[in-house]
Amino acid sequence: MRTPVKVKICGLTRREDVESAVAAGADYLGFVLVPESKRFVPPERRRALVADLPAEVKSVAVVADPTEDELSEIRKLFDIIQFHGHEPPDLADGERSWKALPASAAPAEFARYRVGHFVVDSERGGSGQCCDWRLAARAAERYEILLAGGLSPGNVAEAVRQVNPWGVDVAGGVELSPGIKSAEKIQLFIKEAKS
């Protein structure tokens, strides 16, 4: 029997959505620390969002090209760093690091990084567009990936069937508006992903 996929609910900006995701059974909670993002969480709000999470639920900081100083501060607060920029492999390194790459990335690009997991996304991460699931499935044969890009309660079960990822990652597919989640959609997404 297949192990249920891990689920990451990303782009969280409100404590009530954090609590909804935890109650629904999310494994990972993602917080966007990229100022240009419509789901950006400013520094003064981060601690309250990740406070008192259950031990089995891990917090993930989504970053793009952070400095070493920024990274050391972020690591104090979050369990995992998910890199979305042009970070060199020596910066995005180790089990507590995840690297986002487009599904179309060459095998050599994946091979450059020694990270806990890859987040396999569309060409424009955060765009809500699905990536090429056939290419993602190839990556999933070699690595433990989280499939991202355009997932929703309506397509996640089929995505899991076709790609066989280690995990799935959703932001827009469970939202009412950018950064504002729907508790019902979160619950349905997790149920469909793990079914």
Could you say which of 121, 130, 131, 169 is catalytic?
121
Mark whether 65 is an active-site residue: no
Residue with tokens 């970070």: 87
Catalytic pick among 10, 17, 131, 169:
10
> Is 131 one of the catalytic residues?
no
Torsion of CA 11, 165, 127, 116, to 10 degrees: 60
End-to-end CA distance of the chain: 12
Classify each residue of 153-183 as buried b or exposed e, where b means 16 or more C-beta atoms within 10 Å of its C-beta.
bebbbebbeebebbbbbbbbbbbeeebebbb
Q: Where are the alpha helices (H) located in 104-182, listed in sequence order?
A: 107-111, 133-142, 156-163
Active centre residues (catalytic): 10, 121
